[in-house]
Amino acid sequence: EAQVTQNPRYLITVTGKKLTVTCSQNMNHEYMSWYRQDPGLGLRQIYYSMNVEVTDKGDVPEGYKVSRKEKRNFPLILESPSPNQTSLYFCASRQGRGLSGANVLTFGAGSRLTVL
Amino acid sequence: AQSVTQLGSHVSVSEGALVLLRCNYSSSVPPYLFWYVQYPNQGLQLLLKYTSAATLVKGINGFEAEFKKSETSFHLTKPSAHMSDAAEYFCAVSPIQGAQKLVFGQGTRLTINP
């Protein structure tokens, strides 16, 4: 089954404790992206990647890092989490390198992160 | 810069009634437009998309949306609501070319009353 898989689905952590949210897709998609969802704000893009070793900032990149060493994986790293990073995170992928807006994003099921 | 406004963070309708979720976009040129649905504890699923073909777009689960350039709108409708339609709905916009992201609206939570 074609899908985007995120782990963990739920995580409670404390301020400053480094964590990684993994994202993997099995559709051979070039483009991958991370979004965070907050009430009343919709989804906002954190980082995106158009291909292996090519990443760029989205609208809210502060406090996050990403890497794209393999085509299928796009982990989101929080080096020193803070309470304002408590949110629902979504990884998404799509075919192509983002040049055509018609390509549809496929989303993972989400990772709910709480930072105390 | 493109933006999307969804009017009404919460919409409540009775089962069998018309569903109307409003979306207005801001863009210097006609963009691509999408509606996504998020069921509880799930990711986002594509309902339908407008990519400059027919202005009336039909999606899954009986939903449809009409692109109105003069009103910069892309409202989502369904003639008869079902209990299973209860979810959060997001409108999103993307440029035709150079699309590095979807810009999402704030979301509308749809509640269906029995």
CB of A61 within 8 Å of a chain B CB? The answer is no
Distance from CA of A18 to the nearest CA of B (A): 25
Block residue for tokens 């990772």: A111
Instruction: Report whether pLDDT(A103) > 80.
Output: no
Average pLDDT over residues B56-84: 95
Cβ distance A102 to B51 less than 8 Å, yes or no, reads yes
Identity of the residue in B43, B51, B100 whose CB atom sits nearest the CB atom of A107: B43
CB contacts, 8 Å: A110 with chain B: 41-43
Residues 57-86, chain B: which have Cβ within 8 Å of A?
none
Where are any strands of DSSP class E within A14-75? 19-25, 31-38, 42-51, 54-57, 65-66
CB of B105 within 8 Å of a chain A CB? The answer is yes
CB of B20 within 8 Å of a chain A CB? The answer is no
Half-sphere exposure (Cβ direction) of B8: Cα atoms closer than 13 Å: 16
Is the pLDDT higher at B100 or at A46?
Answer: A46
> Which residues are bridge partners to B34 per DSSP?
B49, B92
User: CA-CA distance, A53 to B37, in Å (whole number)?
Assistant: 31
Angle subtended at Cα B12 by Cα A112 and Cα A113, rounded to the nearest 5 degrees: 5
Interface test with B, best of A31, A43, A107 (most B CBs within 10 A): A43
Interface test with A, best of B27, B34, B44 (most A CBs within 10 A): B44
User: CA-CA distance, B112 to B93, in Å (whole number)?
Assistant: 26
Cβ distance B105 to A41 less than 8 Å, yes or no, reads no
Span B11-64, pLDDT tens digits: 999 999 999 999 999 987 778 899 999 998 888 999 999 987 788 999 999 999
**% of chain B beyond a pLDDT of 70:** 97
Span A33-79, pLDDT tens digits: 999 999 889 999 999 999 999 999 999 999 999 999 999 999 999 99
> Which residues are bridge partners to A92 per DSSP?
A33, A107
CB of A110 within 8 Å of a chain B CB? The answer is yes
Residue of B nearest to A46 (CA): B101
Span A14-41, pLDDT tens digits: 999 999 999 999 999 999 999 999 988 9
Q: What is the pLDDT, as a whole number, of residue B51?
A: 85
Q: What is the pLDDT, as a whole number, of residue B12?
A: 97
Q: What is the pLDDT, as a whole number, of residue A99?
A: 58
Instruction: Report whether pLDDT(B8) > 70.
Output: yes
Q: What is the pLDDT, as a whole number, of residue A8?
A: 96
Identity of the residue in A41, A58, A110 whose CB atom sits nearest the CB atom of B43: A110
Give backbone dihedrals phi and psi of A12, rounded to 5 degrees, phi first. Answer: -115, 130
User: CA-CA distance, A43 to B14, in Å (whole number)?
Assistant: 28
Q: What is the pLDDT, as a whole number, of residue B29?
A: 76
Average pLDDT over residues B73-80: 97
Report the range of poorest mean pLDDT among A58-62, A95-99, B34-38, B71-75.
A95-99
Tokens representing residue A67 in the block = 């890497």
Average pLDDT over residues B61-71: 94
Instruction: Report whether pLDDT(A98) > 60.
Output: no
B79 cis-preceded (ω within 30 degrees of 0):
no
